[in-house]
Structure 1
């Protein structure tokens, strides 16, 4: 009587799964600040509070804020007169606050301070008479916002080393370069090296534009990926920093998948997998990390290990309108 029961018990035993969780991961200081700005605006003004563009690139966060009374729009044309409006963490062209002021809208700027720093650098380089080569991804809100800080035609976007090779500025053209804050550290380094080789006089920023959170999360993935059979990156498909984490893992020779929620994980992904690496882009909350751990635990006996590669203590001030 006991043998069949023991056999059935063994069949029902779940295979072990080692889970390597990257740290740092998830929310950065700029995202924390942007979300708090919307929440405080809702508390101060009451709903609805309008938000131009997704405040951060994460559906879970956006839906949570919608439930509290935030209304997300693509342009100021959709914001009624007299309504409060928040600009997203990615930054906006100068024309946007100018239009808000023209209409008398009460607006709050949730642009990440590290993106704002790049905006100020762009202004200074134009004042110095230099043309700016901007390294970034065409169409990304941060790129649109940064290029909108300077007069049209004063900034040229490059995405690849090939784009640098195609540049045809005169040898004596005063040049400067800046970069999007959420790029691949390795890719950007290669592009900058190519740019400096072609134009040795090009002026760069005093400190790297790629933000600390982007660099730290990529370094953390490099620490877990070589020991993982599969790396899961929690993030949105339009999240630049999350897509870069997938690329970093793949360059380590590891299979990597971008997921938005635990429900995206397919059980067959775990076939033959003994170790899974797990991280989250800078717009993904910790709740989604725990959700993934719980989902994996439904299928396998999970043993968690957190690998800490950096400590983050950065905090950004809120706009003065929201500080009591």
Structure 2
């Protein structure tokens, strides 16, 4: 049989960062329970719930029903532990989605290797490492704005900046129903976030201001903006520098997507922007105020889906 169900979580093309966190959280949840059932403590379930709960509620605000995917992964794990041959036949069927195929790979990995632990007693392995390598983002609250850019941008601080920029646009937007439902407008919240990023002369402050200008340009002059972007990308393909820096080029892609004139289709994070920010000293993001369990954040995230400016 072709061995096509090996874990691929460390492959940058294997799903999104959001999916990587999903798989890591599944491993963490299993590690909350003792290997010996006789040592079970009800507190273990509470610890596991910290990892499980965000995905059980995911249908309300994520772009994919991760609750169903969690259940599928659990079922797959049982199949591989109970009857590996039958599980392999199921995994080889052509009826599975790509996420389900990766869940089969993870379930097989668990059946064959179990949980592995590091020298300090913490669960480790490829599914954990795939998330931990993102540093700050591995510990950030679940947030749909953050997930939107985690796969497009390598630098954690830039991911937060872009996530907060989209968040601010939604807080300002009077067309979102959260205004009526939660008593908006939220201009004061939006201004606080915007000021946090846009003031000063640092790299992210400059990037925020350039992104804001790029969005306005794409909104008013989409044809001219597309021409400038095409010229830059053509020059870049010839090995020339083009008119934009790497950050400015990503701002153009971001602004084009926000205004509904094209998708940001970069397949992997660029390595041109080094991770030169201390991960534990990132500027305060709106993540500090708008958690995944917060009704306002949930409403805003839902409203963001499908909106085009």
Q: TM-score when scaled to structure 1?
A: 0.24
More helix by share: 2
Structure with larger RCO (C-alpha < 8 A, sep 6+): 1
More strand by share: 1
Computing the radius of gyration over CA atoms, which structure comes out larger, 1 or 2? 1
